[in-house]
Structure 1
Amino acid sequence: MSIEQHLIDSGIVLPEPAAPVASYVPVVIEGGLAYVSGQIPFNAEGALMLGRMGEHVDTAFGQRAAERCGLMILAQLKAALGSLDRVERVVKLGVFVSSTPDFTEQPKVANGASDLMVKVFGEAGKHARSAVGVPVLPLGVVVEVDAIVAIRG
């Protein structure tokens, strides 16, 4: 079964790929890898998911935001590759979590994106990962996620 069909069967709807908000491109393909620029979370209605972990929002909200970043990563990959069937393996995710100094659940927040990759790609979705807390993210979003993905042809 194709990844595209798996998405349909799983009820996963990809958002429209977001345009860059500064001087960069969403995806660079080099040496069999796709480097996906940091993606920020938009909810299902298209609004930014804002806040700071440990201050404004809870871990469950952060997980949903990380999952929305993961969906945007998939949307950017589909736009760049033509099909998600070209994904060979998710190699690494970098997850940045806007959080207070005493918030320590960044790995739990990051699971929102990680679990999505495994749901979509199975074993090929298991990846290395960084999950770090930062004081602020672009536009006030709660999470930003970037990716390195091995691709076919």
Structure 2
Amino acid sequence: MSIYDRLKDLGIELPPIAIPAAAYVPFVRTGNLVFLSGHIAKRDGKPWVGQLGRNIDTATGKLAARAVAIDLLGTLHAAVGDLNKVERIVKVMSLVNSTPEFIEQHLVTNGCSELLGEVFADKGAHARSAFGVAQIPLGACVEIELIAQVS
């Protein structure tokens, strides 16, 4: 089954590539690695604002991380032209806008990781870091970057 068939089965339409909000590019390819810049969580086309442990719970944060994963897939598609060329999702790094007391950043980030597994199966298994941070640009609740190996 192609990646696009899986996306269709999941009811996912790839968004267009995200426009950078500052002085950077959405992705860089070097050799067979593609580095995607951090993407913030968006809801209805606007930053998904909030802080985990204050006004967003873990389940909602997980949905936000899943939304980021969909945006990352749109950028990865733009970078390589065909998601079937992805040989491996190598690494995910997640920043979770959270209070000092919030300790479930790893569970929030599962929203992204689980979707990558659904889309890429074994090729979606990746190394990962999840951090709690005091703030993310535009007040977003989650920001995630990704590294992929492609053919």
TM-score, length of structure 2 as denominator length: 0.97
Deviations, residues 91-131 of structure 1 (Å, cap 9, x unaligned): 00000000000100000000000001000000100100000
Give the SS at the match of 1:118.
helix
Structure 2: runs of 5+ lacking an equivalent = none
User: When the two structures are aligned, how many residues end up with a matched partner?
Assistant: 151
Query: C-alpha separation between the residues in 2 aligned to 1:49 and 1:90?
Result: 25
Residue of structure 2 in register with 1:50 after alignment:
49
How far apart, in 1, do the equivalents of 2:14 and 2:46 lie? 15
C-alpha distance in 2, partners of 1:145/1:54? 19
User: What runs of 5+ residues in structure 1 fail to find an aligned partner?
Assistant: none
- Which runs of structure 2 are paired with 1:110-125 in the superposition (5 Å)? 110-125=109-124
Q: Distance in 2 between matches of 1:58 and 1:13?
A: 26
Runs (4 or more) in structure 1 with deviation over 6 Å come to none
Contact persistence 1:4–1:83 (CA under 8 A): no
State the partner residue of 1:40: 40
Cα RMSD after superposing both structures:
0.9
Partner SS, residue 4 of structure 2 = helix
**In structure 2, how many angstroms separate the alpha carbons of the residues matched to 1:9 and 1:71?**
14
C-alpha distance in structure 1 between counterparts of 2:64 and 2:10, whole Å: 19
- The alignment partner of 1:122 has SS state of helix
Residue identity in the other structure for 1:133: G
How does 1:123-142 map onto structure 2 within 5 Å?
123-142=122-141
